Structure 1
């Protein structure tokens, strides 16, 4: 039986190009390549590996006009991915990167992780496509914007399917969280409140996190969000939701001691 499983895994390619790991909480982070949106402020314009690695703690304030990182040239087949993770305890796995949901092997990876490690599995996704969520415990969906014109301006796509998929995940009883990025001059306080209102109609208890935009993308006109703007955005969102938080880096460069957990590279 073990030999059959290895043969099956060996035949499965994934889009995983980078694996990070937090030893203190036994959590693995799988980074997938490829996306079905073209977000103008995408982090991958600056960095494609985990921002919590020591060498990447300066990402937020890197010059956005620097050349984009090179695309990865190597990807982990499923058997190699499982071998890599077998070297450490794995209680949790977060799927992220560009867009994990479009990896054809998503269902196979989550199944293998459940069978081998019994891990808690979270999917970070833009919500355009829902993969096989049979073995997924939690979905964190980035809603970007709910106003169609704003969403299209930022992503070059429509958001009808995203909003439907958000409601579908909730209806299926899968634990669900919402996220968006606050971008002054585009996805501002008014739009952030609209996102919160949309989520609140489904369930006021769904957690919502607002991330502060930092300059990413050489041609983007937007500036970083201020602490005052983030506080106002949170207050606006709390009109519709119970649990609203935000993230914002104010230091020019983080230090390892600033991190809640140390993160290292496995691949």
Structure 2
């Protein structure tokens, strides 16, 4: 697959793949991105069971690695009008789209993929094709993990009041489901967003301790907060992220962070090119 592929030569043929009686059933997938170099697709789902104050979708609903979105982190959220998808894909059209590319790995992203009624069917089809399946989830609802390889759970906060204040929901089912995913045998990972003065060092240590209570080997990723939504918080400095890493590493063996500090990214800064399929 050439790196200089374009959207036009990757468009799906709408009726090329039969999917039985479920072909016309609607998925929650509204956007599909693809990295040809690593043969990985990213399926973005619409609809969520949380109302997170710092949700990325308040700023941008499509893949951040697309060339037109490399400035997302530094966009002023005051000038980001609300976005909603124009359409979602039927199961048949999604299968037709994915059949036309070389594919070894698929990640479910966007809002909350576990709410997609077609998620088990999508996962089953992907596994039948030999793909690795990765679910990004807030963990509030328990997904059928029988055809999922990796589950990455966004813990957000452990303190009940802090979690409820950030998401408008209780985290009781999340903490229970995190343990259930671990017991199911999937490759479980955790993540959270570091927000100085809000979800800061004290809460980060609570998150790390909770993960460690399940297994100290579970990987934990901290994402540096960047402005999204109407919030008073500031992004952390690189030094603050290093301190947060040290706190989490007191309890866990595999902790790392992500933070974009360069304002003017270009395609040359990316490890691999990502293109839009839908």
Question: What TM-score do the two structures reach when normalised by structure 1?
Answer: 0.96
Find the aligned partners of 1:252 and 1:87 in 2 and give their Cα distance.
35
How far off its partner does 1:87 sit? 1.3
Find the aligned partners of 2:171 and 2:115 in 1 and give their Cα distance.
17
The C-alpha deviation readout for 1:129-176, integer Å capped at 9, x for no partner, is 012211001100000000111101110111010000000000111110
- Work out which of the residue numbers 58, 63, 73 in structure 2 matches 1:45: 58
Find the aligned partners of 2:192 and 2:138 in 1 and give their Cα distance.
10
Conserved in 2, the CA contact under 8 Å of 1:61 and 1:253? Answer: no
Where does structure 2 lack aligned partners over 5 or more consecutive residues? 1-15
User: Which residue does 2:223 correspond to in 1?
Assistant: 211
The C-alpha deviation readout for 1:195-251, integer Å capped at 9, x for no partner, is 00100111000000000000000x200001111110000000000000000000001
User: Which residue does 1:161 correspond to in 2?
Assistant: 173
Alignment pair present for 1:194 and 2:206: yes
- Work out which of the residue numbers 72, 80, 95 in structure 2 matches 1:59: 72
Superposed, 1:60-99 pairs within 5 Å as 60-99=73-112
Residues 258 and 12 (structure 1 numbering): CA distance in 2 closer, same or farther, change over 3 Å?
same
Question: What TM-score do the two structures reach when normalised by structure 2?
Answer: 0.92
SS at match of 1:141: strand
Residues 4 and 48 (structure 1 numbering): CA distance in 2 closer, same or farther, change over 3 Å?
closer
The Cα RMSD (Å) is 1.3
Conserved in 1, the CA contact under 8 Å of 2:43 and 2:107? Answer: yes
User: Which residue does 2:32 correspond to in 1?
Assistant: 19
Conserved in 1, the CA contact under 8 Å of 2:139 and 2:178? Answer: yes
Find the aligned partners of 2:92 and 2:242 in 1 and give their Cα distance.
45
How far off its partner does 1:12 sit? 1.9
Find the aligned partners of 1:70 and 1:175 in 2 and give their Cα distance.
33
Alignment pair present for 1:257 and 2:278: no
